[in-house]
Amino acid sequence: MLTNTQAEKHETVKEMMRDAVLHDVNKISLFGFIDVNPGLISAIVITSILLITALIIRIFVIPKFKFIPTSKFQILLEEMVGLFDNFAKQNSPHRNNFLGAYIFGAGMYIFFGTLFELLGLQAITTMGHSITLPAPLSDINGAIALGCLSYSVIVFGGIRANGLKGLVHALKEFSMPLSMSFRLFGAMLSGVLVTELVYYYYRLSFVLPIIVAVLFTLLHATIQTYVLVMLTASTYGSATKPEE
Amino acid sequence: MNIPLNISWQQILLHLFNFSILTLGLYILLYNPVKNFMEQRKEYYNKLDKDANDKLNEAKELEITYEKRIADIEKLIEERKASAAQEAKLEAKAILKDAEKKAEKILLDAQQAAQQERAKILEDTQEEITQMAISAVEKLLAQSSSGALNQFLDAVKKE
């Protein structure tokens, strides 16, 4: 499950790199309805894992929270929520309840979605090959979805706060969905490509993956989470700022 | 229509749907409960802080009230002390005056009693002298019978 040497050998490195960018060869059937890119399957798996974990935490951990924390896990959860909540409050002092929840979701999705590729979960393509599931946002459709949704959140936040003026203000940043989507896609893809390349060659798959896969993935997961969250929060803050 | 880079609207919508469910689920299951808990704790400690501040202010007000009361009482004590001293002074003066009056009266009475005694003594003495003279005369008369009486009567006549 963790490694599959057979999966690497059914295509050349050129085909593999091209497929990592375009996802036009290896498709996976989504419950038998349609064939989708592996990134979407990764996104569904990540969503399931995060929601199940959140449900377990909600049922078994949160009710045992104490005002003076005694467990490190409680401190970690509070830090995570507090981090995004403060980020929303600092960047958007006027309207931040929805923004906090949104950037928390987006942050968790990007961070854990990026780390997800470390698991090396395998899936069977429609052609019968086994492939490693990539990070959800290395699929351009996923990156476009997140970029456009973030922009929509900003536009609707602006309209809700300032009406037509807010809309005009948000529309000024018309290039944002494009830049957000492709920046995210490019950053994720670069990580995937380097990792794929390293894993492709047998000799490079000793020791080096520890540095490349773990450190590089951790680093760019953190950076991309920060970049998208920061961009969304600051633009949302300026769009929802009350007009003087 | 073929969109470059294998972009598929269908998959974009599926990603959007997936991400929306994730965000909503994380909000309901994790973000909101933890945030609520943190706010409850904040409110609890703010309330504690407010209560402590209220009590501190109350204590300060009490301290000010008691200090004022103590100052008032001290002032009252001083006034009463001064008043008592004044009263004592006046009373002492009155007692002294009374004592002086009594002393004068005693002296006067003593003088009057002494004068009365003196007068009485003088009176008693005169009476005694008279009695002594009478008895002396009687004795002389008894010793010298009529001769002597005549001599005496002659002498008295000559005088």
In this predicted structure, the answer to whether residue A208 has a pLDDT above a threshold of 60 is yes
A56 touches B at CB < 8 Å: no
Residue A182, CA distances (Å) to A25, A50, A146 in order = 21, 25, 10
Residue B26, CA distances (Å) to A54, A55, A123, A218, B91 in order = 7, 9, 26, 22, 93
Tell if the CB–CB gap between A105 and B26 is shorter than 8 Å.
Answer: yes
Average pLDDT over chain A reads 83
Give dist(CA A144, CA A142) in Å, integer.
5
Residue A225, min C-alpha distance to chain B (Å): 15
Helix (H, G, I), strand (E, B) or coil at A123: strand
Residue A109, min C-alpha distance to chain B (Å): 8
Chain B residues with CB under 8 Å of A147 CB are none
Helix (H, G, I), strand (E, B) or coil at A67: coil
Give dist(CA A145, CA B22) in Å, integer.
13
- Give domain limits for chain A: 5-239
Q: What is the pLDDT of residues A37-46, one digit of tens each?
A: 888 999 999 9
In this predicted structure, the answer to whether residue A218 has a pLDDT above a threshold of 90 is no
Token pair for residue B28?
Answer: 């309901």
B15 touches A at CB < 8 Å: yes
User: Mutating which of B13, B23, B41 best tests the A interface, going by the most A Cβ atoms within 10 A?
Assistant: B23
Token pair for residue A165?
Answer: 């003026």
Per-residue pLDDT of chain B (159 residues; tens, 9 = 90+): 567 767 888 999 999 999 999 999 999 999 999 999 999 999 999 999 999 999 999 999 999 999 999 999 999 999 999 999 999 999 999 999 999 999 999 999 999 999 999 999 999 999 899 899 999 888 877 776 666 667 777 777 776
Residue B158, CA distances (Å) to A151, B69, B144, B150, B152 in order = 175, 108, 20, 12, 10
pLDDT (0 to 100) of residue A8 = 47
Q: At what angle do helices A97-116 and A217-239 cross, to 10 degrees?
A: 160
Q: CB neighbours of A21 closer than 8 A, spacing ≥ 6?
A: A189, A193, B5
Tell if the CB–CB gap between B22 and A100 is shorter than 8 Å.
Answer: no
Give dist(CA A122, CA A145) in Å, integer.
24
